[in-house]
A and B are shown apart, each in its own frame.
Chain A
Amino acid sequence: MKELSYPFDNGYIMKKKKALKRRLLEEDTERIKKKIAVLGGSTTDDIVSVMELFLLDMGFECEFYQSEYNRYWQDAVFGNEELDSFAPDVVYIHTSVRNLSFRPSPKSSVEEIENALDGEIDKLEQAWNSLREKFHCPIIQNNFEYPYFRLMGNMDAWDRRGTVNFVTRLNTRLYDKAEKRQDLYINDINWLSSAYGLEKWSAPEYWYLYKYSLNTDAIPELSYQAASIVKALFGKNKKAFALDLDNTLWGGIVGDDGAENLEIGQETAEGMAYYEFQQYVKAHKNLGILLTVCSKNEEENALAGLSHPEGALRPEDFTAVKANWLPKDKNIADIASELNILTESIVFADDNPAEREIVREQLKYTAVPEIGEVTDYIRILDRSEFFETVSLSEDDLKRNEMYRANAERAKQKARFENYVDYLKSLDMTAEIGDFTPMYLQRITQLTNKSNQFNLTTKRYTVEQMEEVCRSDRYIRLYGRLKDKFGDNGVVSVVVGEIKKVGLHIDLWLMSCRVLKRDMELAMLDSLVKACRERGISEIFGYYYPTAKNKMVAGLYESFGFEKLSADEKGNTVWRLNTENYVNKNNVINIIPTGGK
C-alpha cells in the first residue's frame, strides 16, 4: 500500500490508522499468521497498532500481546498465564533510555559505573534467558537512544561519568550479546532517533502526558523498523533489484546522448550523485541481492552505458538484462521467472513516475518505491528496509556467482538434444545427509524463504530448527548440490516425523535455482534409504496449497506415491511403501554425509 511505503507521512498514518487497517483487511490476500508479544518499558498501544498495519502490508496477519505499562521485565522473567498461553512467535522488548535504572553523575566512581553497566546488561540478559526457556523464539530488543540533554556538554560523550558515554558503552555491550546469541536481534533506535532528529524524538511532553518514550509522530518510523525485522525473520525480504537505466543509474539518455556524454563519475555534481548510487546498488551484491536491468533501450546502448569507464557498475554485475521496448511489468515478470523468484521479491527502481504507476498496477506485490530525485535514491531505498538483514550465510555472499553459473549452464543446455545427456554432462555431485550445526542457519533460512517448491510452507525459527535437530523423533535431510560450474550450496531440506505408523513429512522444499536437475529424486532416494535403515516401511506426504506452490501439487504423484485423501481446500495426503522402491536418480552422484 502506497501510504505505508517509505517515505511515509507519519501524521497521516497515525490519524488514519483505523481506516488503513480496514482497507488492508478488505484486501483479498493470503497472509502468514504470527503472534508477537510486545513487552514495553513505556506505553506501547500505538506502537503495536501501527506495527500491525505495516505487517499486514508486508503479508503478515499478527496477533499481539502487550505487557501492562512498564512490566516488560516482570513479564519476561516471571511470566504470567496470559503471556504463557499466548506463546509468541516473536518477542519485541521496547525499552528506552527512560528505563535505565542508573545514570552516572560527575560524582560516580569508576567502579560504581562499571557495576551499573553490568547490572543493566544482566537485567536484560535475565529477561532474554527466561524468554528463551519458555518460548524458544526470536527476541527483538531496542538498543538505547541518547539522552536529549548533556549535563557535561561534550565531555558527556568521552568521559565515563557522562550519560552519553554510558549509553554508548551499554549499546556496545548489547551488540556483543547479539553477536553471540542466536535469538537476539537489535532494533537500532539509536540510529533511528538520530535520523529522525533526537530532540524531536525525545520531546518530553509525550512522556509526561502519556508515558510514551518517544514523540507519537515518530511511532510509524519505530514500528516500521521493528516490523521490518519481523518480516526479515520470517523470510519476506526482497531478493532482487530491477533497475531502470536512463536518469536512474546515470544522468541522461544513453540512446540519444551517447554513452560518452552521460552524467556519471567524478566530474560533475550530477555525475557524482549517480556514481554514489551505482556504488550503493553494487554493494547489494555482497548481501546476495541480485541485480537486474529493466530499461526501455536498445540492448547495445544499455551495455555501452553500463560499460562507461567512470561508472561503478559493470555489465557482469547483472544477472539479467532486459533492455528492450516491452512493457516493464512484462520484463519484470520475465526476470522473475528466469531467476525463479516471485515478482513480489523484486524492487523496481525507476525515475519515471508513469513507469512506476504501470508496474504498480500490473504487479501488485512488486515493491515500487517513490525514489524521488537522484539525491534521494539511496536514502529512500535504504530506509525502505527491503533487504533488512538478520543473518548472513555463506550462500548470501556467493549468490550472484551461483546465478552466473546458472547462466553458463543454460548456454550449455542449448547444445544437448537429450535432457538426460545434458544433466549427465553437468557432473553433479550431491552431499545428502542429516542436519549438521554448520548448516543449520542456512537450512532455516532456506526453509523460511522457499515458497514455490515447498509442499507444506511450514516456517521455523532457528530455535525450533535446533529442537528438530536435537530430537530423535525426526528424520532430517539436507541436500547440497555441486556441478562443474560451481557449488549451489544447500538447496533442499526434508524433515519427516516418525510416528507409530510410518514417517510423516513435515517439510519438503527445494531452492528453485536447481529445478529440473533431478535433485528431488536424489533426496527421495536418500529418504527411502534412511527409512529402511530404521525399519520404517511407509512414508506419508502432505501437500498444502498456497498461492505460490502450485508447481509441486503433483510432486508426490510423480514420485509414485498413492493418494489417500483430498479435502475441499486442495490439501492432499499421500503414501509410499518403501519396500519395493527402486532408486530414481540416475544423474547425480551421491556422497552420503551429515549427522552430529
Chain B
Amino acid sequence: MTDKQIIDRLNEVFRDVFDDSSLEVTAKTTADDIEDWDSIEHITLIGAVEDEFGMRFKMGEVSGMKNVGEMIDIIRQRGK
C-alpha cells in the first residue's frame, strides 16, 4: 500500500467520523486542526481506522499518536 492509498482511505474515514465531506487530511494533520476532534471522537476515530484497515493499534500507539503521519506509519506496517 502506498502512502497515497492510505491517505485516501483515511480521508474517507475522517469524513465519515466527523461528518464533513470537505475534510482533507495530510500527514501533518493533528487533533488541533479539526474542530470536533476531541478525546471522545478520538475513540471513534481509532475504532473506525482499525475497521477500515483490518488491524488493531497497540495501547501505547493509541495514546502516543501525535499526528496523522504517525498513524500512517503504523498502518503502512500492519494495515491491510
Contact = CB atoms under 8 A, between A and B. Distances in A.
A280 to B, nearest CB: 33
Among the interface residues B13, B17, B43, B62, which one has the most CB atoms of the partner chain A within 10 A? B43
B63 interface: yes
Contacts of B51: 11, 15
B18 A11 contact: no
B19 A45 contact: no
A208 B13 CA distance: 25
Interface string A199-231: 000000100111010001100000000000000
Contact of B18 (A18, A45, A209): A18
B16 A46 contact: no
Given A16-B16, A18-B17, A209 B47 contact: no
Given A205-B59, A209-B62, A19 B16 contact: yes
B57 to A, nearest CB: 9
B44 interface: yes
A210 B41 CA distance: 11
Contacts of B62: 209
Given A14-B47, A16-B16, A18-B18, A209 B63 contact: yes
Among the interface residues A15, A16, A22, A216, which one has the most CB atoms of the partner chain B within 10 A? A15
Nearest to A15: B48
A217 B47 contact: yes
B43 A15 contact: no
A15 B40 contact: no
Given A11-B51, A209-B63, A216 B19 contact: no
Nearest to A9: B51
Contact of B44 (A17, A19, A208, A209): A17
Nearest to B38: A45
A15 B16 CA distance: 6
Contact of B47 (A11, A18, A22, A208): A11
B40 A45 contact: yes
A480 B36 CA distance: 56
Given A14-B47, A46-B43, A208 B19 contact: no
Contacts of B47: 11, 14-15, 216-217
A22 B48 contact: no
Majority SS at the chain A contact face: helix
Contacts of A19: 16, 19
Which of under 10, 10 to 19, 20 to 34, or 35 or more describes the interface residues of A?
10 to 19
Interface in B47-80: 47-48, 51, 59, 62-63
Majority SS at the chain B contact face: helix
B44 to A, nearest CB: 6
Contacts of B18: 18
Nearest to B51: A11
Contacts of A210: 43
A46 B62 CA distance: 18
Which of under 10, 10 to 19, 20 to 34, or 35 or more describes the interface residues of B?
10 to 19
B13 A216 contact: no
A217 B48 CA distance: 10
Contacts of A46: 40, 43-44
Nearest to B18: A18
A157 B44 CA distance: 35
Given A15-B13, A46-B40, A208 B59 contact: yes
Nearest to A205: B59
Nearest to B19: A18
Nearest to A19: B19
Contacts of A22: 19
Contacts of A16: 16-17, 19
Contacts of B13: 15
A216 B59 contact: no
B59 A15 contact: no
Nearest to B39: A210
A51 B77 CA distance: 36
A69 to B, nearest CB: 12
A209 B40 CA distance: 12
Contacts of A11: 47-48, 51
A205 B56 CA distance: 11
Contact of B17 (A15, A45, A212): A15
Contacts of A216: 43-44, 47
A210 B63 CA distance: 10
B38 to A, nearest CB: 10
Contacts of B43: 46, 209-210, 212, 216
A240 to B, nearest CB: 37
B29 to A, nearest CB: 18
A10 to B, nearest CB: 9
A205 B51 CA distance: 16
Nearest to B50: A11
Nearest to B43: A210
Contacts of A208: 59
Interface string A499-525: 000000000000000000000000000
Interface string A16-58: 1111001000000000000000000000011000000000000
A296 B47 CA distance: 45
A19 B44 CA distance: 13
28 contacts: A11-B48, A14-B47, A15-B13, A15-B16, A15-B17, A15-B44, A15-B48, A15-B51, A16-B16, A16-B17, A16-B19, A17-B44, A18-B17, A18-B19, A18-B36, A19-B16, A19-B19, A22-B19, A46-B40, A46-B44, A205-B59, A209-B43, A209-B62, A210-B43, A212-B43, A216-B43, A216-B47, A217-B47
Given A18-B19, A212-B43, 10 more contacts: A14-B47, A14-B48, A15-B44, A15-B48, A15-B51, A17-B44, A208-B59, A209-B43, A209-B62, A210-B43
Interface of A: 11, 14-19, 22, 45-46, 205, 208-210, 212, 216-217
Q: Lowest 7 A-B CB distances belong to which pairs?
A: A18-B19, A15-B48, A11-B51, A19-B19, A45-B40, A15-B16, A216-B47
